[in-house]
Structure 1
Amino acid sequence: MRTFSYFSVALLSTVALVSCSKEDNTPAESFLKTVAEVKVDEYTIRLQNASGSFVMGYNEVVLTAVKSSGEQVAIEEATFFPEMEMYKSDNNGGYTKEVNHRHSCPHTTLAKVGDQWKSQALFQMTTGATGSWYAKLTYKIAGVSKTIDRLDFVVKAQTNTALGKVGRFKVTSNTNPDGQMHLYAIVAPEKPIAGDNQLALGVWKMENKNSFPSVTDFTIEVKITEKGNTAVLSTSELRYSDSFYRGNVTYPKKGSYVLTYTMKDAQGNVIQPKDNAGNAVILASEISF
Protein backbone atom coordinates (compact mmCIF):
# COMPACT_ATOMS: atom_id res chain seq x y z
CA MET A 1 0.00 0.00 0.00
CA ARG A 2 1.48 3.35 -1.00
CA THR A 3 1.21 5.97 1.67
CA PHE A 4 -0.18 9.45 1.73
CA SER A 5 1.33 11.61 4.42
CA TYR A 6 -0.55 14.90 4.58
CA PHE A 7 -1.41 15.57 8.23
CA SER A 8 -4.24 17.91 9.15
CA VAL A 9 -3.15 21.45 9.93
CA ALA A 10 -5.35 21.54 13.01
CA LEU A 11 -3.76 18.51 14.61
CA LEU A 12 -0.20 19.51 13.78
CA SER A 13 -0.81 23.04 15.02
CA THR A 14 -2.10 21.65 18.30
CA VAL A 15 0.96 19.43 18.70
CA ALA A 16 3.28 22.33 17.83
CA LEU A 17 1.56 24.57 20.34
CA VAL A 18 2.06 22.02 23.08
CA SER A 19 5.65 21.37 22.11
CA CYS A 20 6.59 25.08 22.10
CA SER A 21 4.82 26.09 25.27
CA LYS A 22 7.07 26.37 28.28
CA GLU A 23 4.20 26.64 30.71
CA ASP A 24 1.85 23.94 29.45
CA ASN A 25 3.29 20.46 29.87
CA THR A 26 0.05 18.68 29.01
CA PRO A 27 0.85 15.74 26.67
CA ALA A 28 -0.29 16.08 23.06
CA GLU A 29 -2.53 13.01 23.40
CA SER A 30 -4.85 14.90 25.76
CA PHE A 31 -5.88 17.18 22.87
CA LEU A 32 -7.13 14.21 20.86
CA LYS A 33 -10.78 13.20 20.95
CA THR A 34 -12.02 9.62 20.89
CA VAL A 35 -13.85 8.30 17.83
CA ALA A 36 -14.20 4.70 19.07
CA GLU A 37 -12.78 2.60 21.89
CA VAL A 38 -12.80 -0.88 23.37
CA LYS A 39 -11.55 -2.25 26.71
CA VAL A 40 -9.15 -5.18 26.50
CA ASP A 41 -7.93 -6.53 29.84
CA GLU A 42 -6.53 -3.58 31.83
CA TYR A 43 -6.24 -1.26 28.79
CA THR A 44 -8.64 0.86 26.78
CA ILE A 45 -7.68 0.95 23.11
CA ARG A 46 -8.83 4.06 21.25
CA LEU A 47 -9.10 5.40 17.72
CA GLN A 48 -8.74 9.18 17.99
CA ASN A 49 -8.19 12.39 16.07
CA ALA A 50 -8.49 16.13 16.60
CA SER A 51 -12.22 16.33 15.79
CA GLY A 52 -13.48 13.19 17.51
CA SER A 53 -15.24 11.90 14.39
CA PHE A 54 -14.55 10.31 11.03
CA VAL A 55 -16.12 11.80 7.91
CA MET A 56 -16.59 10.74 4.31
CA GLY A 57 -13.31 12.00 2.89
CA TYR A 58 -9.81 12.33 4.26
CA ASN A 59 -9.24 11.54 7.95
CA GLU A 60 -6.51 11.42 10.55
CA VAL A 61 -6.39 8.21 12.60
CA VAL A 62 -4.40 7.95 15.84
CA LEU A 63 -4.22 4.73 17.87
CA THR A 64 -3.72 5.15 21.63
CA ALA A 65 -3.96 3.01 24.76
CA VAL A 66 -4.62 4.00 28.38
CA LYS A 67 -4.77 2.18 31.69
CA SER A 68 -7.90 2.19 33.82
CA SER A 69 -6.32 5.06 35.75
CA GLY A 70 -6.28 7.11 32.55
CA GLU A 71 -2.50 6.95 32.24
CA GLN A 72 -1.21 6.76 28.67
CA VAL A 73 0.81 3.62 27.89
CA ALA A 74 3.36 3.04 25.14
CA ILE A 75 2.34 0.91 22.17
CA GLU A 76 5.33 -1.02 20.82
CA GLU A 77 3.81 -2.36 17.58
CA ALA A 78 0.44 -1.86 15.89
CA THR A 79 -1.58 -2.38 12.70
CA PHE A 80 -4.84 -0.83 11.49
CA PHE A 81 -7.12 -2.13 8.75
CA PRO A 82 -10.46 -0.38 8.11
CA GLU A 83 -13.28 -2.36 6.54
CA MET A 84 -16.91 -1.75 5.63
CA GLU A 85 -19.51 -4.48 5.44
CA MET A 86 -22.19 -3.88 2.84
CA TYR A 87 -25.67 -5.24 3.50
CA LYS A 88 -27.94 -7.16 1.15
CA SER A 89 -31.03 -5.54 -0.30
CA ASP A 90 -34.40 -6.56 1.15
CA ASN A 91 -35.85 -6.20 -2.37
CA ASN A 92 -38.27 -3.61 -1.02
CA GLY A 93 -36.19 -0.45 -1.23
CA GLY A 94 -34.28 -1.13 1.99
CA TYR A 95 -31.48 -3.29 3.33
CA THR A 96 -31.15 -6.28 5.61
CA LYS A 97 -28.36 -6.76 8.17
CA GLU A 98 -27.08 -9.73 6.18
CA VAL A 99 -23.63 -9.02 4.77
CA ASN A 100 -23.38 -9.01 0.99
CA HIS A 101 -19.66 -8.20 0.76
CA ARG A 102 -16.87 -6.24 2.46
CA HIS A 103 -14.42 -3.65 1.21
CA SER A 104 -11.66 -1.46 2.60
CA CYS A 105 -10.61 2.06 1.57
CA PRO A 106 -7.44 4.03 0.77
CA HIS A 107 -5.38 4.14 3.95
CA THR A 108 -1.77 4.27 5.03
CA THR A 109 0.09 1.73 7.08
CA LEU A 110 -0.14 2.62 10.76
CA ALA A 111 3.25 4.12 11.60
CA LYS A 112 4.88 5.57 14.69
CA VAL A 113 5.28 9.34 14.38
CA GLY A 114 7.00 10.70 17.47
CA ASP A 115 5.23 8.93 20.31
CA GLN A 116 1.96 8.39 18.40
CA TRP A 117 0.78 5.67 16.03
CA LYS A 118 -0.84 7.36 13.03
CA SER A 119 -2.61 6.51 9.81
CA GLN A 120 -4.63 8.44 7.26
CA ALA A 121 -7.76 7.04 5.66
CA LEU A 122 -10.03 8.13 2.82
CA PHE A 123 -13.51 6.86 3.69
CA GLN A 124 -15.54 6.74 0.48
CA MET A 125 -18.93 5.99 2.07
CA THR A 126 -20.82 6.97 5.21
CA THR A 127 -22.18 4.61 7.83
CA GLY A 128 -25.88 4.02 7.22
CA ALA A 129 -28.56 1.61 6.11
CA THR A 130 -26.33 0.24 3.36
CA GLY A 131 -23.45 -0.76 5.61
CA SER A 132 -21.17 -0.13 8.59
CA TRP A 133 -17.47 0.48 9.23
CA TYR A 134 -15.10 -1.18 11.66
CA ALA A 135 -11.37 -1.63 12.19
CA LYS A 136 -9.23 -4.70 12.63
CA LEU A 137 -6.34 -3.91 14.97
CA THR A 138 -3.25 -5.52 16.39
CA TYR A 139 -1.00 -4.00 19.04
CA LYS A 140 1.79 -4.86 21.44
CA ILE A 141 2.03 -3.41 24.95
CA ALA A 142 4.72 -4.44 27.45
CA GLY A 143 5.80 -7.23 25.12
CA VAL A 144 2.33 -8.78 24.85
CA SER A 145 0.61 -8.83 21.45
CA LYS A 146 -3.17 -8.63 21.11
CA THR A 147 -5.66 -8.70 18.24
CA ILE A 148 -8.97 -6.85 18.03
CA ASP A 149 -11.06 -8.44 15.31
CA ARG A 150 -13.64 -5.67 15.25
CA LEU A 151 -13.86 -2.13 16.62
CA ASP A 152 -16.92 -0.43 15.15
CA PHE A 153 -16.83 3.26 14.28
CA VAL A 154 -19.13 5.69 12.49
CA VAL A 155 -18.29 7.59 9.32
CA LYS A 156 -20.39 10.75 9.02
CA ALA A 157 -21.12 13.03 6.08
CA GLN A 158 -18.43 15.59 5.28
CA THR A 159 -19.17 18.87 7.06
CA ASN A 160 -16.34 20.94 5.56
CA THR A 161 -17.74 22.38 2.32
CA ALA A 162 -14.27 23.57 1.36
CA LEU A 163 -13.27 19.95 0.72
CA GLY A 164 -16.24 18.94 -1.39
CA LYS A 165 -17.18 15.28 -1.82
CA VAL A 166 -15.36 12.07 -2.63
CA GLY A 167 -15.67 11.36 -6.35
CA ARG A 168 -15.22 8.22 -8.39
CA PHE A 169 -14.66 7.30 -12.00
CA LYS A 170 -13.60 4.42 -14.22
CA VAL A 171 -10.79 4.29 -16.74
CA THR A 172 -11.19 1.75 -19.55
CA SER A 173 -8.37 0.17 -21.53
CA ASN A 174 -7.81 -2.61 -24.03
CA THR A 175 -6.88 -4.94 -21.19
CA ASN A 176 -9.75 -3.78 -18.96
CA PRO A 177 -12.77 -2.84 -21.12
CA ASP A 178 -15.07 -2.84 -18.07
CA GLY A 179 -13.00 -0.07 -16.51
CA GLN A 180 -10.73 0.39 -13.50
CA MET A 181 -12.47 2.19 -10.62
CA HIS A 182 -10.72 5.24 -9.16
CA LEU A 183 -11.47 7.58 -6.24
CA TYR A 184 -10.50 11.24 -5.92
CA ALA A 185 -10.87 13.86 -3.19
CA ILE A 186 -9.55 17.24 -2.14
CA VAL A 187 -7.30 16.90 0.89
CA ALA A 188 -6.22 20.55 1.32
CA PRO A 189 -6.69 23.37 1.99
CA GLU A 190 -9.23 22.78 4.73
CA LYS A 191 -9.70 26.54 5.08
CA PRO A 192 -9.20 28.27 1.71
CA ILE A 193 -8.74 32.01 1.47
CA ALA A 194 -9.50 34.61 -1.18
CA GLY A 195 -6.31 34.68 -3.23
CA ASP A 196 -3.70 31.98 -3.78
CA ASN A 197 -4.10 28.53 -2.22
CA GLN A 198 -2.06 25.35 -2.39
CA LEU A 199 -4.42 22.59 -3.54
CA ALA A 200 -3.78 18.93 -2.71
CA LEU A 201 -5.86 16.35 -4.57
CA GLY A 202 -5.67 12.62 -3.91
CA VAL A 203 -6.35 10.00 -6.59
CA TRP A 204 -6.49 6.29 -5.77
CA LYS A 205 -6.97 3.19 -7.90
CA MET A 206 -9.20 0.39 -6.62
CA GLU A 207 -7.16 -2.68 -7.57
CA ASN A 208 -9.57 -4.85 -5.59
CA LYS A 209 -11.80 -4.52 -2.52
CA ASN A 210 -8.79 -4.30 -0.20
CA SER A 211 -6.12 -2.54 -2.26
CA PHE A 212 -6.25 1.18 -3.12
CA PRO A 213 -2.79 2.37 -4.18
CA SER A 214 -2.23 6.05 -4.93
CA VAL A 215 -2.10 7.01 -8.60
CA THR A 216 1.20 8.80 -9.16
CA ASP A 217 1.73 9.20 -12.90
CA PHE A 218 -1.06 11.59 -13.95
CA THR A 219 -0.86 15.28 -14.72
CA ILE A 220 -4.06 17.11 -13.78
CA GLU A 221 -5.30 20.39 -15.20
CA VAL A 222 -7.74 22.30 -12.98
CA LYS A 223 -10.17 24.93 -14.24
CA ILE A 224 -11.79 27.22 -11.66
CA THR A 225 -15.28 28.60 -12.28
CA GLU A 226 -17.83 30.21 -10.00
CA LYS A 227 -20.77 27.93 -9.31
CA GLY A 228 -23.52 28.73 -11.79
CA ASN A 229 -21.14 30.52 -14.17
CA THR A 230 -19.24 28.79 -16.98
CA ALA A 231 -16.61 31.52 -17.41
CA VAL A 232 -13.18 30.13 -16.48
CA LEU A 233 -11.52 32.28 -13.81
CA SER A 234 -8.15 30.53 -13.81
CA THR A 235 -6.38 27.36 -14.89
CA SER A 236 -3.71 25.50 -12.94
CA GLU A 237 -1.69 22.30 -13.32
CA LEU A 238 -1.30 19.75 -10.54
CA ARG A 239 1.67 17.41 -10.40
CA TYR A 240 2.27 14.51 -8.04
CA SER A 241 4.45 15.37 -5.06
CA ASP A 242 4.55 14.10 -1.48
CA SER A 243 1.60 11.70 -1.84
CA PHE A 244 -0.82 14.07 -3.63
CA TYR A 245 -1.34 16.11 -6.77
CA ARG A 246 -0.35 19.63 -5.80
CA GLY A 247 -0.49 23.07 -7.34
CA ASN A 248 -1.56 26.66 -6.83
CA VAL A 249 -5.20 27.69 -7.35
CA THR A 250 -6.65 31.17 -7.02
CA TYR A 251 -10.09 32.21 -5.76
CA PRO A 252 -10.93 35.90 -6.31
CA LYS A 253 -13.21 36.07 -3.28
CA LYS A 254 -15.08 33.94 -0.78
CA GLY A 255 -17.89 32.01 -2.41
CA SER A 256 -18.84 28.79 -4.19
CA TYR A 257 -16.62 27.34 -6.89
CA VAL A 258 -16.40 24.37 -9.24
CA LEU A 259 -12.99 22.77 -9.82
CA THR A 260 -13.06 20.80 -13.06
CA TYR A 261 -10.26 18.29 -13.67
CA THR A 262 -8.70 17.08 -16.90
CA MET A 263 -6.43 14.12 -16.25
CA LYS A 264 -3.57 13.13 -18.55
CA ASP A 265 -1.45 9.99 -18.52
CA ALA A 266 2.35 9.85 -18.43
CA GLN A 267 2.46 10.33 -22.22
CA GLY A 268 0.28 13.45 -22.06
CA ASN A 269 -2.83 11.76 -23.45
CA VAL A 270 -6.15 12.95 -22.01
CA ILE A 271 -7.85 10.26 -19.93
CA GLN A 272 -11.58 10.04 -20.55
CA PRO A 273 -13.24 8.96 -17.29
CA LYS A 274 -16.49 7.00 -17.40
CA ASP A 275 -19.28 6.14 -14.99
CA ASN A 276 -20.52 2.67 -14.04
CA ALA A 277 -22.67 2.58 -17.19
CA GLY A 278 -19.68 3.33 -19.40
CA ASN A 279 -20.74 6.89 -20.19
CA ALA A 280 -18.19 9.70 -20.40
CA VAL A 281 -18.22 11.94 -17.33
CA ILE A 282 -16.70 15.25 -16.26
CA LEU A 283 -14.63 15.14 -13.06
CA ALA A 284 -15.19 18.06 -10.72
CA SER A 285 -15.39 19.15 -7.09
CA GLU A 286 -17.85 21.74 -5.81
CA ILE A 287 -16.57 23.75 -2.86
CA SER A 288 -17.62 26.77 -0.86
CA PHE A 289 -15.98 28.82 1.86
Structure 2
Amino acid sequence: MKNLKYIFNILILSIFFGSCSSDDDEITAVETNPVEDLNLLYEISAEGHTLQMYSEKEQLEVGYNEISILIKDLETNQYVTNASPTWMPMMNMETMSHSAPHTLLNNSEENSVYKAYIVFQMPNNDSERWELKLDYTFKEQVLEKIIDLDVVSPIDGLKKTQVFTGSDETRYIMAYVNPKKFQVAQNEFEMVLYKMENMNTFPVVEDYKITLDPRMPSMGNHSSPNNQDLTYNIATQKYEGVLSLTMTGYWKINLKLLNENDEVLKGEEVTETQSESSLYMELEL
Protein backbone atom coordinates (compact mmCIF):
# COMPACT_ATOMS: atom_id res chain seq x y z
CA MET A 1 0.00 0.00 0.00
CA LYS A 2 2.85 2.33 0.85
CA ASN A 3 4.47 1.56 -2.52
CA LEU A 4 1.22 2.33 -4.31
CA LYS A 5 0.93 5.65 -2.47
CA TYR A 6 4.55 6.49 -3.35
CA ILE A 7 3.98 5.75 -7.03
CA PHE A 8 0.82 7.85 -6.99
CA ASN A 9 2.70 10.86 -5.54
CA ILE A 10 5.44 10.55 -8.16
CA LEU A 11 2.79 10.49 -10.89
CA ILE A 12 1.12 13.66 -9.55
CA LEU A 13 4.48 15.48 -9.39
CA SER A 14 5.34 14.41 -12.94
CA ILE A 15 2.05 15.75 -14.24
CA PHE A 16 2.56 19.04 -12.33
CA PHE A 17 6.11 19.68 -13.59
CA GLY A 18 5.18 18.53 -17.07
CA SER A 19 2.38 21.06 -17.10
CA CYS A 20 4.76 23.84 -15.92
CA SER A 21 7.28 22.89 -18.60
CA SER A 22 4.57 23.03 -21.25
CA ASP A 23 3.46 26.47 -20.03
CA ASP A 24 7.07 27.72 -20.15
CA ASP A 25 7.46 26.43 -23.69
CA GLU A 26 4.34 28.31 -24.74
CA ILE A 27 5.63 31.53 -23.13
CA THR A 28 9.05 31.37 -24.78
CA ALA A 29 7.45 30.61 -28.13
CA VAL A 30 5.66 33.96 -28.21
CA GLU A 31 7.34 36.25 -30.75
CA THR A 32 7.64 40.00 -30.28
CA ASN A 33 7.05 42.44 -33.10
CA PRO A 34 10.48 44.04 -33.79
CA VAL A 35 8.91 47.24 -35.16
CA GLU A 36 6.06 47.48 -32.65
CA ASP A 37 7.34 50.75 -31.15
CA LEU A 38 8.23 52.34 -34.50
CA ASN A 39 6.24 54.51 -36.90
CA LEU A 40 5.43 53.29 -40.40
CA LEU A 41 6.57 56.12 -42.68
CA TYR A 42 6.24 54.53 -46.12
CA GLU A 43 4.70 51.40 -47.60
CA ILE A 44 5.40 50.90 -51.29
CA SER A 45 3.70 48.23 -53.37
CA ALA A 46 5.73 46.23 -55.88
CA GLU A 47 5.15 43.04 -57.87
CA GLY A 48 4.47 40.26 -55.39
CA HIS A 49 5.78 42.19 -52.38
CA THR A 50 5.74 45.43 -50.42
CA LEU A 51 8.49 47.65 -49.03
CA GLN A 52 7.98 49.13 -45.57
CA MET A 53 10.05 51.87 -43.96
CA TYR A 54 9.88 52.49 -40.20
CA SER A 55 11.42 55.05 -37.86
CA GLU A 56 11.12 56.00 -34.21
CA LYS A 57 10.29 59.50 -35.49
CA GLU A 58 6.93 60.44 -36.96
CA GLN A 59 8.71 62.12 -39.89
CA LEU A 60 12.21 62.06 -41.31
CA GLU A 61 14.06 65.12 -40.03
CA VAL A 62 17.25 67.01 -40.73
CA GLY A 63 19.89 65.23 -38.66
CA TYR A 64 20.26 61.67 -37.43
CA ASN A 65 17.50 59.22 -38.42
CA GLU A 66 17.48 55.53 -37.53
CA ILE A 67 15.54 53.63 -40.21
CA SER A 68 14.25 50.05 -40.46
CA ILE A 69 13.24 48.49 -43.78
CA LEU A 70 11.15 45.34 -44.20
CA ILE A 71 10.26 43.49 -47.41
CA LYS A 72 7.07 41.42 -47.28
CA ASP A 73 6.39 38.53 -49.64
CA LEU A 74 2.66 38.78 -50.40
CA GLU A 75 2.42 35.16 -51.55
CA THR A 76 3.70 33.69 -48.28
CA ASN A 77 2.77 36.66 -46.06
CA GLN A 78 6.31 36.42 -44.63
CA TYR A 79 9.09 39.00 -44.38
CA VAL A 80 12.17 38.38 -46.54
CA THR A 81 15.40 37.63 -44.68
CA ASN A 82 17.85 37.37 -47.61
CA ALA A 83 17.17 40.56 -49.59
CA SER A 84 20.72 41.97 -49.17
CA PRO A 85 19.52 45.57 -49.65
CA THR A 86 21.76 48.54 -50.36
CA TRP A 87 20.69 52.15 -50.43
CA MET A 88 21.80 55.61 -51.47
CA PRO A 89 20.04 58.80 -50.31
CA MET A 90 20.27 61.67 -52.79
CA MET A 91 19.29 65.33 -52.55
CA ASN A 92 18.29 66.59 -56.01
CA MET A 93 18.92 70.32 -56.12
CA GLU A 94 18.34 72.76 -58.97
CA THR A 95 21.91 72.67 -60.29
CA MET A 96 23.48 69.67 -58.55
CA SER A 97 22.91 66.53 -56.49
CA HIS A 98 24.57 65.18 -53.38
CA SER A 99 24.20 62.30 -50.96
CA ALA A 100 24.28 62.19 -47.15
CA PRO A 101 26.23 60.33 -44.44
CA HIS A 102 24.69 56.89 -43.95
CA THR A 103 25.51 53.39 -42.76
CA LEU A 104 25.02 50.06 -44.52
CA LEU A 105 21.73 48.24 -44.11
CA ASN A 106 22.07 45.02 -42.14
CA ASN A 107 19.82 42.51 -40.39
CA SER A 108 22.20 41.19 -37.76
CA GLU A 109 19.78 41.73 -34.86
CA GLU A 110 16.50 40.64 -36.46
CA ASN A 111 16.62 38.62 -39.70
CA SER A 112 13.62 40.28 -41.29
CA VAL A 113 14.50 43.88 -40.31
CA TYR A 114 17.24 45.78 -42.18
CA LYS A 115 18.54 48.64 -40.05
CA ALA A 116 20.82 51.62 -40.61
CA TYR A 117 20.78 55.41 -40.28
CA ILE A 118 20.98 58.49 -42.48
CA VAL A 119 22.10 61.99 -41.47
CA PHE A 120 20.15 64.44 -43.63
CA GLN A 121 21.89 67.83 -43.94
CA MET A 122 18.92 69.87 -45.16
CA PRO A 123 15.14 69.68 -45.52
CA ASN A 124 13.09 69.41 -48.69
CA ASN A 125 11.74 72.54 -50.28
CA ASP A 126 9.62 73.33 -53.32
CA SER A 127 12.43 72.73 -55.83
CA GLU A 128 14.90 70.51 -53.91
CA ARG A 129 13.95 67.06 -52.66
CA TRP A 130 15.44 63.92 -51.16
CA GLU A 131 15.00 60.51 -52.72
CA LEU A 132 16.22 57.05 -51.74
CA LYS A 133 17.57 54.56 -54.26
CA LEU A 134 17.04 51.07 -52.84
CA ASP A 135 18.52 47.97 -54.48
CA TYR A 136 17.57 44.52 -53.18
CA THR A 137 16.98 40.88 -54.11
CA PHE A 138 13.53 39.31 -54.21
CA LYS A 139 13.05 35.72 -55.37
CA GLU A 140 16.51 35.72 -56.96
CA GLN A 141 15.80 38.91 -58.91
CA VAL A 142 17.83 42.07 -58.34
CA LEU A 143 15.41 44.98 -58.15
CA GLU A 144 15.63 48.74 -57.80
CA LYS A 145 13.16 51.14 -56.26
CA ILE A 146 13.29 54.93 -56.06
CA ILE A 147 11.45 56.30 -53.02
CA ASP A 148 10.62 59.99 -52.68
CA LEU A 149 11.36 61.10 -49.12
CA ASP A 150 9.79 63.92 -47.15
CA VAL A 151 12.52 65.41 -44.92
CA VAL A 152 11.58 68.32 -42.66
CA SER A 153 13.37 70.60 -40.22
CA PRO A 154 13.24 69.35 -36.60
CA ILE A 155 9.69 69.74 -35.32
CA ASP A 156 10.88 71.29 -32.04
CA GLY A 157 12.97 73.89 -33.92
CA LEU A 158 16.16 73.04 -32.02
CA LYS A 159 19.61 72.77 -33.58
CA LYS A 160 20.65 69.11 -33.69
CA THR A 161 22.90 69.10 -36.74
CA GLN A 162 25.82 71.24 -37.83
CA VAL A 163 27.30 71.38 -41.34
CA PHE A 164 30.44 73.51 -41.40
CA THR A 165 33.90 74.06 -42.84
CA GLY A 166 36.72 73.63 -40.36
CA SER A 167 39.95 75.63 -40.20
CA ASP A 168 41.53 72.76 -42.17
CA GLU A 169 39.19 73.60 -45.10
CA THR A 170 37.35 70.30 -44.65
CA ARG A 171 33.57 70.13 -44.77
CA TYR A 172 32.12 68.37 -41.69
CA ILE A 173 28.68 67.03 -40.75
CA MET A 174 28.00 66.65 -37.01
CA ALA A 175 24.72 65.33 -35.62
CA TYR A 176 23.23 64.61 -32.21
CA VAL A 177 22.20 60.96 -31.58
CA ASN A 178 21.42 60.16 -27.91
CA PRO A 179 19.83 60.30 -25.42
CA LYS A 180 16.35 60.24 -26.90
CA LYS A 181 15.08 62.04 -23.79
CA PHE A 182 17.22 64.18 -21.49
CA GLN A 183 17.04 64.07 -17.71
CA VAL A 184 18.11 66.47 -14.95
CA ALA A 185 21.12 64.26 -14.32
CA GLN A 186 24.32 63.15 -15.97
CA ASN A 187 23.26 62.02 -19.44
CA GLU A 188 25.25 59.67 -21.66
CA PHE A 189 25.70 61.85 -24.74
CA GLU A 190 26.35 60.59 -28.29
CA MET A 191 27.03 62.30 -31.61
CA VAL A 192 28.27 61.28 -35.04
CA LEU A 193 30.90 63.09 -37.07
CA TYR A 194 31.52 62.78 -40.81
CA LYS A 195 33.55 64.67 -43.37
CA MET A 196 32.63 65.35 -46.97
CA GLU A 197 35.16 63.74 -49.31
CA ASN A 198 33.05 64.42 -52.40
CA MET A 199 29.37 64.88 -53.22
CA ASN A 200 28.58 61.20 -52.58
CA THR A 201 31.24 60.07 -50.10
CA PHE A 202 31.17 60.85 -46.38
CA PRO A 203 33.70 58.86 -44.32
CA VAL A 204 33.49 58.70 -40.53
CA VAL A 205 35.95 61.00 -38.75
CA GLU A 206 37.90 59.01 -36.16
CA ASP A 207 39.96 59.93 -33.09
CA TYR A 208 39.01 63.60 -32.84
CA LYS A 209 37.56 65.19 -29.69
CA ILE A 210 34.43 67.26 -29.12
CA THR A 211 34.44 69.42 -26.00
CA LEU A 212 31.23 70.22 -24.12
CA ASP A 213 30.25 73.44 -22.36
CA PRO A 214 26.48 73.46 -21.66
CA ARG A 215 25.02 76.87 -20.78
CA MET A 216 21.61 78.29 -19.83
CA PRO A 217 21.36 81.72 -21.53
CA SER A 218 18.22 82.64 -19.57
CA MET A 219 19.95 81.96 -16.24
CA GLY A 220 23.04 84.15 -16.51
CA ASN A 221 24.63 81.71 -18.96
CA HIS A 222 25.62 79.37 -16.11
CA SER A 223 27.19 76.02 -16.89
CA SER A 224 27.08 72.67 -15.05
CA PRO A 225 29.65 70.42 -13.33
CA ASN A 226 30.98 66.96 -14.19
CA ASN A 227 30.67 67.07 -17.98
CA GLN A 228 32.91 64.72 -19.94
CA ASP A 229 34.10 65.62 -23.44
CA LEU A 230 33.16 63.32 -26.32
CA THR A 231 35.76 60.89 -27.65
CA TYR A 232 35.53 58.37 -30.47
CA ASN A 233 34.31 54.82 -29.80
CA ILE A 234 35.56 52.56 -32.58
CA ALA A 235 32.96 49.88 -31.77
CA THR A 236 29.95 52.16 -32.24
CA GLN A 237 31.61 54.66 -34.63
CA LYS A 238 30.14 57.42 -32.48
CA TYR A 239 31.51 60.13 -30.20
CA GLU A 240 30.54 59.50 -26.58
CA GLY A 241 30.70 61.59 -23.42
CA VAL A 242 28.64 62.80 -20.46
CA LEU A 243 26.38 65.85 -20.45
CA SER A 244 25.41 67.17 -17.03
CA LEU A 245 22.10 69.04 -16.75
CA THR A 246 21.20 70.62 -13.42
CA MET A 247 17.71 72.01 -14.11
CA THR A 248 14.89 72.09 -16.64
CA GLY A 249 14.75 74.70 -19.38
CA TYR A 250 16.59 75.68 -22.56
CA TRP A 251 20.26 74.70 -22.86
CA LYS A 252 22.80 75.65 -25.49
CA ILE A 253 25.51 72.99 -25.73
CA ASN A 254 28.60 74.92 -26.79
CA LEU A 255 31.09 72.73 -28.63
CA LYS A 256 34.64 72.74 -29.96
CA LEU A 257 35.99 70.25 -32.48
CA LEU A 258 39.65 69.29 -32.01
CA ASN A 259 41.71 67.07 -34.30
CA GLU A 260 44.15 64.36 -33.16
CA ASN A 261 46.78 67.07 -32.50
CA ASP A 262 44.37 69.01 -30.23
CA GLU A 263 44.10 71.78 -32.82
CA VAL A 264 40.73 73.55 -32.76
CA LEU A 265 38.99 73.14 -36.12
CA LYS A 266 35.73 74.85 -35.16
CA GLY A 267 34.22 76.49 -32.10
CA GLU A 268 35.27 78.95 -29.40
CA GLU A 269 35.77 78.91 -25.63
CA VAL A 270 32.89 80.50 -23.68
CA THR A 271 34.19 83.41 -21.60
CA GLU A 272 32.85 86.63 -20.05
CA THR A 273 33.29 88.36 -23.41
CA GLN A 274 32.44 85.32 -25.60
CA SER A 275 28.97 84.19 -24.56
CA GLU A 276 28.62 81.29 -27.01
CA SER A 277 30.47 79.10 -29.48
CA SER A 278 29.78 79.15 -33.21
CA LEU A 279 29.53 75.35 -32.97
CA TYR A 280 26.65 74.21 -30.76
CA MET A 281 23.58 72.02 -30.25
CA GLU A 282 20.32 72.94 -28.52
CA LEU A 283 18.00 71.09 -26.16
CA GLU A 284 15.07 71.80 -23.90
CA LEU A 285 13.82 69.67 -21.02
Query: Normalising TM by the smaller chain, what interval?
Result: 0.7 to 0.9
String of CA shifts for 1:91-132, please: whole Å, max 9, x gaps. xxxxxxxxx211111100111222111111111111222411
Q: Is 1:58 matched with 2:64? A: yes
Q: Which amino acid in structure 1 is aligned with residue 221 of structure 2?
A: T
1:38 corresponds to which of 37, 44, 63? 44
Match of 2:249 in 1: 255
Match of 2:274 in 1: none
Question: Based on CA coordinates, which of the two structures has the bigger radius of gyration?
Answer: 2
Does the residue aligned with 1:112 lie in a helix, a strand or coil? coil
Change (3 A) 1:70 1:186: farther
Match of 2:86 in 1: 79
Match of 2:284 in 1: 288
Q: Is 1:211 matched with 2:201? A: yes
String of CA shifts for 1:31-78, please: whole Å, max 9, x gaps. 543222322211111222234431111111112112447923214111
Q: Please report the RMSD computed on the Cα atoms of aligned residues, expressed in angstroms.
A: 2.4
Unaligned runs of 5+ in 1: 1-20, 88-99, 174-178, 275-280
> For residues 272 and 124 of structure 1, what CA distance do their matches in structure 2 show?
18
Match of 2:24 in 1: none
Unaligned runs of 5+ in 2: 1-26, 269-276
Change (3 A) 1:187 1:160: farther
Q: Which amino acid in structure 2 is aligned with residue 59 of structure 1?
A: N
2:151 corresponds to which of 137, 140, 155? 155
Higher helix share: 2
Match of 1:170 in 2: 165
String of CA shifts for 1:251-288, please: whole Å, max 9, x gaps. 001111111112221112222469xxxxxx72111211
- Give TM-score, length-normalised by structure 1: 0.76
User: Which aligned runs of 4 or more in structure 1 are off by greater than 6 angstroms?
Assistant: none
Higher strand share: 1
Percent identity reads 23
Change (3 A) 1:57 1:72: farther
CA contact (8 A) 1:59 1:120 kept: yes
> For residues 29 and 247 of structure 2, what CA distance do their matches in structure 1 show?
39
Change (3 A) 1:137 1:75: farther
CA contact (8 A) 1:75 1:141 kept: no
> For residues 247 and 119 of structure 1, what CA distance do their matches in structure 2 show?
22
CA contact (8 A) 2:266 2:279 kept: no
CA deviation after TM superposition for structure 1 residue 154, in Å: 0.7
Change (3 A) 1:285 1:261: same
Q: Is 1:139 matched with 2:136? A: yes
How many residue pairs get matched? 244
> For residues 28 and 153 of structure 1, what CA distance do their matches in structure 2 show?
23
Q: Which amino acid in structure 2 is aligned with residue 268 of structure 1?
A: D
> For residues 153 and 70 of structure 1, what CA distance do their matches in structure 2 show?
28
**Could you tell which deviates more after superposition, 35-44 or 24-33?**
24-33
Q: Is 1:110 matched with 2:100? A: no
- Give TM-score, length-normalised by structure 2: 0.77
Q: Is 1:230 matched with 2:221? A: yes
> For residues 255 and 69 of structure 1, what CA distance do their matches in structure 2 show?
52
**Could you tell which deviates more after superposition, 187-196 or 31-40?**
31-40
> For residues 283 and 64 of structure 1, what CA distance do their matches in structure 2 show?
37
> For residues 165 and 27 of structure 1, what CA distance do their matches in structure 2 show?
30
Structure number with the bigger relative contact order (C-alpha 8 A, sep ≥ 6) is: 1
CA contact (8 A) 2:62 2:119 kept: yes
Q: Which amino acid in structure 2 is aligned with residue 225 of structure 1?
A: R
